[in-house]
Structure 1
Amino acid sequence: MSSYYFAIVGATDNPIYETELIPSSRSSAFMDAHRQRDDHKHLNQFIIHAALDVVEEFQWSTNAMYLKSIDRFNEFFVSCFVTAGNVKFMLLHDQKSEDSIKQFFNEVYELYVKVLMNPFYEKNTTITNSSFDNRIKLISRRFL
């Protein structure tokens, strides 16, 4: 069963948003694995944070916003998408599927731009909107 952890990291390397993306099937084996992932939430955060140094190396050597899989930790891969405002979308995953991850990032980027257009949202602050969270999970079900 694949697992995904998604985080948006602000331009000043502060966490803006994070979520565990749960696949749509809900078998008991999956729920046991989900409980284990709850225990490893801090590990997921650490892996994403450690990959930020690699992102900085990659982002200056390419013009692409989607940096693909940039780092690896044991069986996990870290993929990244960097916006024009230097906000980083980081996805921790255990299966490589570059095309679907790229589509996921593009849809999330469109959603993030809509958040930025909200006059009540202050750039680089935590996104707490439940509608944003629900839409991220909907996008993940479509592409991941």
Structure 2
Amino acid sequence: MSATYYFAIVGATDSPLYEAEFGVHRSENKHLHQFVVHAALDLVEDALFLTNACYLKTVDKYNDWNVSAYVTPSNVRLMLLHEARSEDAIRSFFTDCHELYMKTLMNPFYEPNSPILSQAFDSKINTLAKKYLL
């Protein structure tokens, strides 16, 4: 049985840009996953004062879940809700997701700080999740 992961990209103005679930899909927990991740945003802001690194590791815990965060230089937050997992795998996942997000920003048809609706982006995020998390 595989673990459940919830991944979200949150814009600089705290607006959700993208979200995805990987692993075991439990639709009754989706709103709880969103709540836990978005509740951790304040802890991400606090952690930014303690380091200048993009990868903030685990910023919050809720029951058996951990919330890890990665903050881009433009203050876009990549958030991952997960059970205990290798820090190296999560860091690699975030780094590749950040690169993919940067490529999306360079697309002249993408409006910055708007939801990412691209099927290609979603497919590539799922591929990264399979590579590093599942």
> Which letter does structure 2 place at the counterpart of 1:11?
A
> What's the secondary structure of 1:85's corresponding residue?
coil
1:107 aligns with 2:96: yes
Give the number of aligned pairs: 132
Q: What is the aligned partner in structure 2 of residue 6 from structure 1?
A: 7
Q: What is the aligned partner in structure 2 of residue 83 from structure 1?
A: 72
TM-score by length of 2: 0.96
**Which of 50, 54, 63 is 2:52 aligned to?**
63
Q: Deviations over 1:111-136 (max 9, x none)?
A: 00000001111111100000000000
Q: Deviations over 1:37-59 (max 9, x none)?
A: 21111000000110000000001
Q: Which runs of 4+ in 1 moved over 2 A?
A: none
> Which letter does structure 2 place at the counterpart of 1:77?
N
Q: Deviations over 1:44-96 (max 9, x none)?
A: 00001100000000012211000001100010000000001100000000123
Q: Larger Cα Rg: Structure 1 or Structure 2? A: 1
Tell me, yes or no, if the aligned pair for 1:2 and 1:95 is still in contact at 8 Å.
no
> What's the secondary structure of 1:96's corresponding residue?
coil
Unpaired segments of 5 or more residues in structure 2? none
Q: What is the aligned partner in structure 2 of residue 25 from structure 1?
A: none
Residues 130-141 of structure 1 aligned to structure 2 (within 5 Å) = 130-141=119-130
Q: What is the aligned partner in structure 2 of residue 53 from structure 1?
A: 42
> Which letter does structure 1 place at the counterpart of 2:43?
V
Residues 2-41 of structure 1 aligned to structure 2 (within 5 Å) = 2-22=3-23, 34=25, 37-41=26-30
Instruction: Compare the two structures and name the one with the higher helix fraction.
Output: 1
Q: CA deviation at 1:98?
A: 0.4
> Which letter does structure 1 place at the counterpart of 2:14?
D
1:127 aligns with 2:116: yes
Please give the root-mean-square deviation of Cα atoms over the aligned residues, in Å.
0.9
Structure 1 CA distance, aligned partners of 2:112 and 2:104? 9
Structure 1 CA distance, aligned partners of 2:86 and 2:33? 19
Q: What is the aligned partner in structure 2 of residue 93 from structure 1?
A: 82
Percent identity between the two aligned chains: 52
